[in-house]
Structure 1
């Protein structure tokens, strides 16, 4: 994980902690997990995220702690057949959810994938599965902690307001929309 993203996560964690308990209903960024408590078979970007923040709740996003990561892997078996995910479960990891729907990372490439909401269909009935970011750092910087949250999360919830208060809702030169 790049240094700027680590520093941003630490800064946002500090600001959220300063306003507790009010912020706990819509956001929480836990301190990082010790490296020896993170399974070695996780993709390196996910390991680095967990070392930085062992669980993140940010508005519509829930990126669980190490202790809960195994609990969300059932999504792999429920993925629509056309995605091929259930046929190659060892190639994928569900690293979190967006609106209670799976966010996956490909173990070989590090690309982040999801089922975008095109209709009101349940996620497992959708027919579009997109790589939304080429890597986890890009995904986190743009969609969880940046302007992209308004595109795939909400643009009117408390997390969006928190991001706006921190001047993170307007794409800047360093922000890069990462596809999808």
Structure 2
């Protein structure tokens, strides 16, 4: 995990803790897990996240800690056939949810995948399963802790308001350059 993202997570954790108990309902960033308590078989990017935050709830996102990761792997068995996940389940890890929908990381590439909410259908009935970010760091920086949170359909909740107060809801110069 890049140093800037580590620092941002630590700062946001501190700010959330300062406003407890009010923030506990919609956001919590747990302290990191000791390296020896993180399962060895996890992708390196997930291991690094768990070292800095052993689970976090950020509005609609719920990224699981070491003790709950195994509990959400059942989503892999429920994946629609068109996704190909069932054909190679060992290549995927469910590392959290967006609402009640699974967030997956592809073990070989590190890319983050999800079901975009294009229709009112339940996630397992949708026909779209997309790579939302090429790696976990960019997913966290943009979608969990940045302007992309509004793009996944949650620009009116407490987490979005908190991100806005932190000055994180406007794409930065780097994001604007890549869009040009």
Matched with 1:119 is 119
1:1-180 paired onto structure 2 within 5 Å: 1-175=1-175
1:86 Cα deviation after fit: 1.2
Distance 1:153 1:55, change over 3 A: farther
- C-alpha separation in 2, matches of 1:97 and 1:177: 29
Distance, in Å, in 1 between the alignment partners of 2:74 and 2:62 is 16
State the Cα distance separating 1:100 from its structure 2 match.
1.1
Count of residue pairs the alignment pairs up: 179
Q: Structure 2 stretches of 5 or more lacking a match?
A: none
Distance 1:101 1:64, change over 3 A: same
- TM-score (structure 2 length as normaliser): 0.97
Q: TM-score, normalised by structure 1?
A: 0.97
Give the conservation status (yes or no) of the 8 Å contact 1:142–1:176.
no
Distance 1:64 1:6 in 2: 17
Query: What is the CA distance between 1:174 and its match in structure 2?
Result: 3.2
> Where do 5+ consecutive residues of structure 1 fail to align?
none
CA distance in 1, matches of 2:143, 2:124: 22
